[in-house]
Amino acid sequence: MKVFGVTGWKNSGKTGLVERLVGEFISRGLSVSTVKHAHHTFDVDHPGRDSYRHRAAGAKEVLLVSKNRWAIMHELRDEDEPELSEILKKVEKVDLVIIEGFKRDRHPKIEAFREETGTSAIAREDESIVAVAADTSLTDLKIPVFDLNNTSEIADFISGFLDLNV
């Protein structure tokens, strides 16, 4: 299973890039999953729902199952947030897992960069970033810089980097 990340500062275009890359790789015949890091408390459940009530009662895991999908909610309670390597063990085997976020982990990544955010490119200080997808020219970088909206070219780069069979 190949893993490649998309990272960047808030509002840099990460999610849009991931969304487009998923569609692009699927159109090329690959199976794709994603892992998204959230920096804040989030909930996929809502007060009053049966599954919410199960968790509120103290269940460690709650599985929701229907004919269309299933989901598992695992409450960490007093546990530390799991490492990315542990999360990846839970992902069903696919051709490619695209990881959004997880800046500090050392898997290969492309940085989404938008000039309007007023931030500096993370790639200048992070060797795990192997390319940048930007809305501006970043001529001082020694790694490939792609147009943020050129999904096909970015997918070609990732395919070559990971030696994907597409």
pLDDT bin (cut points 50, 70, 90) of residue 144 is: very high
In which residue are the tokens 């992070």 written? 126
Q: CB neighbours of 107 closer than 8 A, spacing ≥ 6?
A: 3, 4, 5, 84, 99, 128
Find the range with the poorest average confidence among 15-24, 41-50, 68-77.
41-50
Which pLDDT score, from 0 to 100, does residue 32 have? 98
Which tokens is 83 given?
A: 């490492």
Across 37-128, the runs of DSSP E, i.e. the strands, are 61-65, 70-74, 96-100, 109-113
Q: Where are the alpha helices (DSSP H) in 28-142?
A: 50-56, 84-88
Which pLDDT score, from 0 to 100, does residue 54 have? 94
Q: Judge whether 58 lies within some domain.
A: no
Q: Judge whether 146 lies within some domain.
A: yes
> How many domains, the chain?
1
Q: Judge whether 36 lies within some domain.
A: yes
Q: Is the pLDDT of residue 23 over 90?
A: yes
Looking at residue 14, which CATH number applies to its domain? Answer: 3.40.50.300
Q: Is the pLDDT of residue 42 over 90?
A: no
Q: Judge whether 85 lies within some domain.
A: yes
